[in-house]
């Protein structure tokens, strides 16, 4: 992925989801490219990079990406994008709704009990 690929993805996401106030990234060449930085500022998004050599600033993301890679992407061969997306969605649901997380006292981020409670009270809004 290069800076142009990042720009294409960001443009589509902004059209679909709206513009964030800032985007934080590491210092990979695809994120620090001058034309990408210029475009972000022109559209009113503040680009923020973590300090070089400081991956702990983005540790939650690094941990998630490593876990996804180890448990899904390196564990299976995918023949189609649809097949990969399906496997990732199944894993993501388990990761967010069932799997206990050490940083949350062995609770999942969005426990199934909260989802069931929201469904029963008519307040479910997970959009």
pLDDT on residue 127: 39
Three-state DSSP state, 126: coil
Q: Contact at 8 Å (CB) between 112 and 97?
A: yes
Domain residue extents for the chain: 3-49, 59-121
User: Per-residue pLDDT tens for 52-69?
Assistant: 666 555 556 667 778 888
Q: Per the structure block, which two tokens stand in for 44?
A: 């009113």
User: Per-residue pLDDT tens for 72-104?
Assistant: 988 888 899 999 999 999 998 888 887 777 777
Q: Per the structure block, which two tokens stand in for 20?
A: 């964030």
């Amino acid at each position: 992925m290069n800076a142009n690929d990042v720009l294409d993805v960001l443009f589509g996401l902004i059209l679909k989801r709206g513009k964030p106030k800032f985007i934080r990234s590491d210092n990979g060449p695809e994120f620090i490219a001058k034309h990408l930085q210029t475009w972000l500022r022109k559209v009113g998004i503040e680009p923020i990079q973590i300090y070089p050599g400081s991956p702990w600033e983005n540790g939650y993301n690094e941990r998630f990406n490593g876990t996804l890679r180890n448990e899904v992407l390196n564990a299976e061969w995918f023949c189609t994008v649809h097949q990969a997306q399906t496997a990732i969605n199944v894993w993501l649901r388990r990761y967010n709704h069932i799997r206990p997380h050490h940083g949350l006292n062995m609770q999942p981020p969005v426990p199934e009990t909260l989802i069931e409670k929201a469904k029963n009270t008519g307040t479910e809004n997970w959009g």
